[in-house]
A and B are shown apart, each in its own frame.
Chain A
Amino acid sequence: MKRKKEIFYLVSLISGILIMFFILLPLIKMITQPSISSLKEAIKDKEVIKAISLSLYASGMAALISLIIGTPFAFLLARKDFIGKRFIESVIDLPIVIPHPVVGIAILSVVGKNYWLGEFLYKMGIKVMGSVTGIITVLTFVGMPFYINSVKDGFLSISPRIENISRTLGASMTQTFFRITLPLALKSMLVGIIMCIARAISEFGAVVIVAYHPMVAPVLIYERFEAYGLKYSQPVAVLLIIVCLILFFILRIISLTKKEKAL
């Protein structure tokens, strides 16, 4: 029995090492390959800084939009049962499973001038194709499911009894939401934001169809790789990874601090 257990742990350990190796090796290789001077050059390159800034800005906006419209919707999904709920939940997950270029084509098909919505937006002076608005639209499309699912799980983990108590103590439904539910779901919201930004910042396939220009970081990396090869795309990629790591590290610290406070 003991021997069987040991073999099982050994297999688990080997699997773990293989997975770590598989994930870390290409990343470490990529991070360590560019010279310091090439990294310095990349930092000084206005086009690189602009692309990374645009990636961060558009992803941040996607997370903000998800936060504003996704939070009440996630609450509804967590607290109410209604006909078609399962279907709606599947619809929310659709952007996760659809191939990325398809997302871009799908968005273009409704915001193009040939469709009423596209025509309406055009008349309103809102340009989607080849614009920051288009990039934000695509990133919200791909990032929002991650936010909604995370926040919905957060709401589900809060006992409705806590909200009931708040109501009996004199708080309205809205007051209860802002004073009790929201503070308790804050950690899930922060995790949702991290997930949403992470997904949005890495998006390439859909963005490249809707807006090649202005260039976000993944598009710039692709373009440099296509035009100049690996050597010129790697410093940009490393810089993007460093910026993302710092950002996610800060968000993670905030979310952990919030958890400690909540407890």
Chain B
Amino acid sequence: MIRIKDLSIQLAGFSLDDINLNILDGEFFALMGPTGAGKTLLLEAIAGLIKPRRGKIEIDGKDVTYLPPEKRKIGIVYQDYALFPHLTVLENIRYGLHFHKIKKDEEKKRLNYLADQLKIRPILERYPENLSGGEKQRVALARALIINPKLLLLDEPLSALDPVFREEMKKELKEVHKSHKITFLMVSHDFSDVLSLAGKGAIMNQGRIEQIGDISEIFQKPISHFVADFVGMKNLFKVSFKETKAIINDAIEVETGKTLKNSYGYLAIRPEDIVISKEKLTSSMRNNFKGVVKNILNHGFYHELHIEVEKIIFKALVTKNSIIELRLEKGTTVYLSFKAASIHIL
């Protein structure tokens, strides 16, 4: 188990403050946050590459806070892979073996296993400059895994790959995690990567952890304005509460389905939870509003509609087919509906 307690790091112009994190053995944990949130810094502190100002890092109950990186048995794979350019793929992978007392037979066994699992046998004699992004990624993984680390740190491991390799590598990462039974800690800002790979995660902002929990929980129930915004809750409104209703700008009353204790707060709705129709829907959805399409943004596979209701803009996602079928364009009058269960009160 990885336990981080009150960890603080002070660098020129940036600091990590009071980081508390528990990662269970064998877990695939994702660390998310915008650029400059301190994710990589935290990763490097866990690896022992940056000294903390205070706090504690424990691995399996052992305090490793001031242990040098070479004594921690923590592997790291960077976004740019950081392969040793003057060594062949085989030499890159074998590098870590020089510093660990491993029998020759075992070395060979591990090497063969990784070469087959990561499909790198044909490229063992090549130099890194002659490898594709996907191949470099596999080599970096094999190099980190050959020493059987207790924890593998992945710094944006898929961000430099093209979409085809990305999906392939996602599958491989999943398989590697399953077969090696190692704890994975991955930094990412891509929600689809996180949703398909990690079980638990944390959102970081300006050197602090904003929310920790199950990935689905973070995405569905953000606990702060920042997290809601970060995980794509594009409809975020300041509201006042009256019994079970949340009132936006004293103009729109939204049925939340629950009695609210506070007088004021925030209401969040995911854009994909809003249903768009030309006629008023007669369904179980308790919130129906008439509005006008103000803008349509093309995001490739889907479109983002900006719909004005009582001078308040709601954002909804629809497919290209829906745009054609509903003949949606700027100025079209539509109905937007959403369930009370889709509403998140912050």
Contact = CB atoms under 8 A, between A and B. Distances in A.
Contacts of A261: 86
Contact of A168 (B12, B47, B86, B100): B47
A175 B84 CA distance: 14
B49 A184 contact: no
A168 B82 contact: no
A90 interface: no
Most buried by B among A165, A170, A175, A263: A165
A185 to B, nearest CB: 10
Contacts of B85: 162, 184, 262-263
Contact of B143 (A169, A172, A183): A169
Contact of B82 (A165, A170, A179, A262): A165
A262 B78 contact: no
B266 interface: no
Interface in B64-99: 68-70, 72, 74-76, 78, 80, 82-86, 95-96, 98-99
Nearest to A167: B69
Contacts of A179: 95
Contacts of A33: none
A263 B129 contact: yes
A170 B76 contact: no
Contacts of B317: none
B147 interface: yes
A171 interface: yes
Contacts of B17: none
Interface string A152-179: 0000000101101111111110010001
B99 A171 contact: yes
Contact of A161 (B48, B68, B75, B80): B80
Given A161-B82, A164-B82, A170 B127 contact: no
A165 B47 CA distance: 10
Contacts of A81: 12
Contact of B99 (A165, A170, A183, A184): A170
A251 interface: no
B193 interface: no
B44 interface: yes
B76 A166 contact: no
Interface string B286-303: 000000000000000000
Contacts of B69: 164, 167-168
B78 A165 contact: yes
A154 to B, nearest CB: 13
B80 A171 contact: no
B47 A170 contact: no
A180 interface: yes
Contacts of A169: 70, 75, 95-96, 99, 143-144, 147
A172 B48 CA distance: 12
Nearest to A176: B70
Interface string A114-158: 000000000000000000000000000000000000000000000
A262 B127 CA distance: 9
Contacts of B99: 169-171, 175
A180 B83 CA distance: 11
A168 B74 contact: yes
B151 to A, nearest CB: 10
Contacts of A161: 78, 80, 82
A159 B96 contact: no
A169 B74 CA distance: 8
Given A170-B99, A261-B86, A164 B49 contact: yes
Contacts of B75: 168-169
Nearest to A170: B99
Interface in A205-263: 261-263
Contacts of B143: 165, 169
B70 A170 contact: yes
Contacts of A165: 76, 78, 82, 84, 143
B129 A164 contact: no
B127 A263 contact: yes
Nearest to A263: B129
Contacts of A263: 85-86, 127, 129
B147 A170 contact: yes
Interface in A17-62: none
Given A184-B85, A263-B85, A263-B127, A168 B68 contact: no
17 contacts: A162-B84, A164-B49, A164-B69, A164-B76, A164-B78, A165-B76, A165-B78, A166-B84, A166-B95, A167-B70, A168-B47, A168-B76, A169-B95, A172-B68, A180-B84, A262-B86, A263-B86
- List the 3 closest pairs (A to B, CB-CB), nearest first: A170-B99, A169-B96, A167-B69
Given A162-B83, A164-B76, A168-B76, 15 more contacts: A81-B12, A161-B78, A161-B80, A161-B82, A168-B49, A168-B70, A169-B99, A169-B143, A170-B99, A170-B100, A170-B147, A171-B95, A179-B95, A184-B86, A261-B86
